[in-house]
Structure formats: structure tokens, C-alpha cells
Amino acid sequence: MGNFLSPPEKESSNNNKQPSVQPNSRKRKKKSSSLTRESYNVKKEKQKGKGKEKGIQKLKRKRYNTNATKKPRQQTQRISQTQQTQRKSQTQQNQNLELTKRKRPIKRKVVLMFSYCGTGYHGLQIQYGELKHIKTVETDLVQALIKCNAIHPRNQEDVKKIGWSRAGRTDKGVHSARQYVAFKMEFSYDEEQMVIELNKHLPSHIRAWGIRRVPKSFLAHKRADSREYAFLLPTFLFSGKKVQLIEPNFETKNNFVDDKVLFDKFDSEALAFLNQKVFSQFVGTHNFHNYTKKKNFSEPSSKRYIKRMEAEEPQTIGGIKFVLIKIHGQSFMLHQIRKMMTIAITVMRGGEKLSFIEESFGQQQLRIGIVPGDGLLLNKVFYEVYNNQKMGGIDKGDIYFEEKDQQIEEFLQNKIYKKVSQLEKENHTFRRWLNNYYQYPIERK
């Protein structure tokens, strides 16, 4: 069969078909693109909605958290501030420590020589623990050393940290003309200026005289070869009748030695007898177990060597006549010198014979009284062996200050001797002891 349409009709039909097909395809494309755009926009809107919801939720959470956790945040801020302040203080402390370490002076081992009047003090040695409140000479000395930056303040709790050692201990009320203390000193000044600064912070009855450099291993008591003590005693102890005290509440008793006194007054004859007959028997090596506490005859440490014992010419101090007795020995025990004076007084007043002194060195145990220690003082400490070895060293000189002898003698006269005379006038210490001594004579066990 043939075509029912004419050629123009075919064309027209073709024409009609072509536009119908092309726009449809375009429309479909448009529809697909519009759909994708719509879906894309919907997705965006949904995402925006979700984002808004999330943002709203976050804001709600933030608001909730801020409302619920305000106090902890303030606390954390406060803690952080305290931590910052602590850190700042720590850094400042560290910086200060570094500065102090840099600026801290050089520390050297030295020996310090000083004098002191021991009246009012419970001895020389510094005390710790339960006895910390007791006033001693070293407590004032250590405080003065701290004030002039010679030692660190923390070392006052235990002076052994700075290698502290003393030439010899002194008891309650005992004085010293030349005492030596060794320790590690911080040198802020030179030796002479340090002595001047130290005396500014010391009381008037304690005076520093000089400083010497010594080796690190130096110990003041072990390096000392010998010591010399001096005892200032009233002359009425050795001569004259018993001294009576006129006081309303004082009981006087008959003294059995009143009629046996060897000398009525202490003149040149009495002085010669005291030196040549009495004190000469103490010179040499003897067993002094009866002259101290808790010592037996068999103990080797009971033997002591006395080099010299001599009384000087009497002198009047404050209206009272005194005699100065010097005892030079290698070493001494507790109360040894005071008991030696008791035996000498007993012999001079006729209580015992001269032979009794030699008997006191024997095995028999004796109970000997003790003379008051108001006039006792450590006069000198000798470092002869050390001075011979170290003499001429570059920075370590001899341990003796001869140029200070005159000043020390003035200090003895003004601060110690006058104080002993004043105490005797006020308290009658030696008079009381003499009146009461023979109520408790020497006992033989």
C-alpha cells in the first residue's frame, strides 16, 4: 500500500514530529535538572535546619553548662590564680637563691679569740633541746656572728654544721681572758673589719680580739698543747682569823682552825710559803681522781700534768685585797682547780698538814669541798706545736695575738676583776663559804 499522505503533508508531519520530540526531550532534561536542584535545595534546607537545630542544642548545652557549672569554673580560676602566684613566688625564691648563691661570700675555717665576763651566764657552751632557754656566752656570740653575716642564721640551731669547736669549756660564772673558737666563717669583710663589726653587735662584757685562718681539719681543743687558768681570790682565805658576817639571820659557829692559822696576814712571807711549800706539791704528774667527779684511781685519765702553779703579788681591787694565782697545765678535769684551791686554803689555815697534799693523790677516796668560782678564768691557751708548723704560711699565721695583750689586760681589770670585787661586797660569797666550809670538813672514805 502506498502512503496516504502527500509529500508536503509528510514534511509537515515530519516538522510536527521534530518539534514535538525535541521539546519533550528538553523538558525532560529540564525536569531532571529541576528535580535535582529542588532535591539539592531541599537537602540544603534540611541541612540548614539540622545545623540550626544543632546550633540551638549547642547553645542550650552551653547555657545549661554555664548555669550549672559557674561555681566550679570560678573555683578553677581561683586555683589557677593561686597556682600562678605560687609559681611566681617560687620563681622569685629561685632567683633570690641564685642571687644569694652568687653574692654569698667565701666561707673559710677560722679561729676567733675573744674575752668575756661569765657573770650571769650558765657557762660557755650553747645548749639545745630542753635547755635551749639557758643563757650562755655562745648564744650571744652566735647571734652577733649572724648579725654581721659571718654565719648563716639556720646554723644557730646546730653550730656543729659549721665545724664549731672550742678550746676549753667554762662553768657557770667562770670568765675567760683568751678563749678560742674554731668554725667556718663567711667573709663579708677582711679579718680586721670583721672584728670591728662583730664588736658592734656584742655586749660590752664580751670582746673579740682577732681572727686567724686555719686548715679545715683544725679543732680548737685538740690542737691546744696546754692551758693556763687564773684564780682571783681574797687574801683573807689564806691568812687571818675567821671573818665574821654581821647579819641578823646568819648563824656563826666556832671554827676549829681559828687558833691554828699559819699567818695572821697575807704578807711576803705568807706568799713565799704558799708558792714554795703548798703549790709546789701540785706541780708534776699526779693522780687527781679525788679532785673531780666519778673518777677512780685506776683510770688513766685521772692523771694530769701541772707545769706551773704560782701566786702573784697581792693587789687591792675595790677596797678588797686579792691575790691572783696562775695554774698552767696540760689539761684539767671538772672542778679540779677549785678543789686544788680548797686543799691549799685548808693547809694555810691549819686544817691539814702539808703531807696531806701528797696523800690526796693516793688510792684513798676523799670528799673535798669546792671554792666558789667567781674569780676563776681561762687565761691562756697555747698552740705552740701548731704555731711552729704553720709559722710563715701565706694566709695562716700563728694563733696568738701579742699585740692585744694590753687591751686584754685593761678588759680584765675593768670588766672581770672589778666585777669579782663588786660581787664579794654585795653577796659576801667567799666570806660565806669560809664560815660554812668547816661545818663540812674533808671526809676520808
**How far apart, in whole angstroms, are the C-alpha atoms of residue 251 and residue 303?**
40
Residue 89 lies in a domain: no
Average pLDDT rounded to a whole number, residues 335-348: 94
Q: Which of 140, 158, 171, 395 is catalytic?
A: 171
**How far apart, in whole angstroms, are the C-alpha atoms of residue 360 and residue 290?**
7
Of the pLDDT bands very low, low, confident and very high (cuts 50, 70, 90), residue 106 is: confident
Give the closest residue to 119 by CA, choosing from 167, 165, 176: 176
Of the pLDDT bands very low, low, confident and very high (cuts 50, 70, 90), residue 261 is: confident
Cβ neighbour number for residue 408 with a 10 Å cutoff: 19
Residues 192 and 243 both lie in one domain: no
Strands 443-444 and 366-367, sheet pairing? antiparallel
Of the pLDDT bands very low, low, confident and very high (cuts 50, 70, 90), residue 292 is: very high
Residue 10 lies in a domain: no
Residues 307 and 246 both lie in one domain: yes
Question: What is the per-residue pLDDT across 183-222, written as a single tens digit (0 to 9) for each?
Answer: 999 988 888 999 999 999 999 999 999 999 999 999 999 9
Of the pLDDT bands very low, low, confident and very high (cuts 50, 70, 90), residue 89 is: confident
Q: Which residues pair with 108 in a beta bridge?
A: 185
pLDDT at site 282: 98
- The mean pLDDT of the chain is 82
Residue 351 lies in a domain: yes
Helix (H) or strand (E) holding 272: helix 268-273
Average pLDDT rounded to a whole number, residues 77-95: 68
Average pLDDT rounded to a whole number, residues 392-414: 82
Grid cell 680584765 is found at: 412
Query: Is residue 437 pLDDT above 90, yes or no?
Result: no
pLDDT at site 392: 47
Residue 92 lies in a domain: no
Residues 234 and 358 both lie in one domain: yes
pLDDT at site 435: 80
Residues 359 and 272 both lie in one domain: yes
Q: E strands, 188-338, where?
A: 206-213, 226-234, 284-287, 303-311, 315-317, 320-329
Query: Is residue 233 pLDDT above 50, yes or no?
Result: yes
Residues 117 and 234 both lie in one domain: no
Grid cell 667556718 is found at: 184
Helix (H) or strand (E) holding 377: strand 376-382
Of the pLDDT bands very low, low, confident and very high (cuts 50, 70, 90), residue 83 is: confident
Query: Is residue 65 pLDDT above 70, yes or no?
Result: no
| 198 vs 38 pLDDT, higher one | 198
Q: Is 257:350 a contact under the CB 8 Å cutoff?
A: yes
CATH of the domain at 173: 3.30.70.580
Domain boundary among 191, 213, 235: 213
Q: Which residues pair with 114 in a beta bridge?
A: 179, 208
CATH of the domain at 336: 3.30.70.660
Residues 239 and 312 both lie in one domain: yes
Which of 117-121, 240-244, 303-307 is the least confident region? 240-244
pLDDT at site 4: 45
**How far apart, in whole angstroms, are the C-alpha atoms of residue 413 and residue 417?**
5
Residues 240 and 337 both lie in one domain: yes
Residue 39 lies in a domain: no
pLDDT at site 79: 54
Average pLDDT rounded to a whole number, residues 361-376: 93
| 243 vs 203 pLDDT, higher one | 203
Of the pLDDT bands very low, low, confident and very high (cuts 50, 70, 90), residue 400 is: confident
Of the pLDDT bands very low, low, confident and very high (cuts 50, 70, 90), residue 421 is: very high
- Is 158 a residue of the active site? no
Residues 427 and 288 both lie in one domain: yes
Domain boundary among 160, 185, 213: 213
Grid cell 502512503 is found at: 3
pLDDT at site 10: 46
Q: Write out the residue range of the structural domain in which residue 440 sits.
A: 226-382+404-444
Residues 254 and 352 both lie in one domain: yes
The three-class DSSP label of residue 113 is: strand
Residues 270 and 414 both lie in one domain: yes
**How far apart, in whole angstroms, are the C-alpha atoms of residue 145 and residue 138?**
10
pTM of the model: 0.74
Residues 376 and 254 both lie in one domain: yes
Question: What is the per-residue pLDDT across 347-360, written as a single tens digit (0 to 9) for each?
Answer: 998 888 999 999 99
Average pLDDT rounded to a whole number, residues 55-72: 56
Residues 160 and 307 both lie in one domain: no
Q: Number of structural domains, the chain? A: 2
Residue 90 lies in a domain: no
Domain boundary among 213, 248, 283: 213
Residue 172 lies in a domain: yes
Residue 180 lies in a domain: yes
pLDDT at site 257: 45
